[in-house]
A = this chain, B = another copy of it.
Amino acid sequence: MLKTETESAARSPLPLLACTCANLRRAARVVTRLYTRALQSDGIEITQFTLLMALDQVGEISQGELGEILALDSTSLTRMLKLLKDHGWVQAKEGEDRRMRIFRLTKAGREKFQQSLRHWKQAQERLRTALGAKSTGELSVLLAEITRVSQEA
């Protein structure tokens, strides 16, 4: 029988998992915590902040298109956007195609976004400093790459 490893302190704290997916998800968890905590006093989750940021950039957009940009299932967005609506941060209107929902920020949403932007920047900057500018840039490129090729694969 193998010696149980439970008592040994010899396990490295973060062994490299062999699975790219597991490594991505683990990194996403840790980084999400960092941003979520930075935004805590703003009363907004980083996932919600991301939607505000996207809407701030594009102005108006349909639910489906927003889903494509964020690689989020459109039906997932139904509920995420509902939370934002309940907060009064976004509003929807019908498109010319009456099946579509066109979303945009409300005034309160723009304000919430601007407000939380400070703490977001702090988190973003803290991470960039800790990882190094070069690595941060490389990571960005690789994440864009892997997102693209995974969608095709």
Contact = CB atoms under 8 A, between A and B. Distances in A.
A114 interface: no
Indicate how many identical chains form the complex.
2
Q: Is the interface of A mostly helix, strand, loop or mixed?
A: helix
> Which of A31, A61, A123: most chain B Cβ within 10 A?
A31
> Which of A25, A34, A120, A126: most chain B Cβ within 10 A?
A25
Given A6-B60, A59-B4, A20 B140 contact: yes
Contact of A143 (B2, B23, B32, B62): B23
A30 to B, nearest CB: 4
Interface in A1-45: 2, 4-6, 11, 13-35
B144 A4 contact: no
Interface in A109-133: 120, 123-124, 126-128, 130-131
A47 interface: yes
A145 B151 CA distance: 25
Contacts of A78: none
B139 A153 contact: no
A106 B22 CA distance: 22
A19 B124 CA distance: 7
Contacts of A140: 16, 20, 23
Contacts of A62: 6
10 contacts: A4-B102, A16-B144, A19-B124, A20-B31, A24-B28, A30-B147, A31-B146, A130-B152, A131-B145, A135-B145
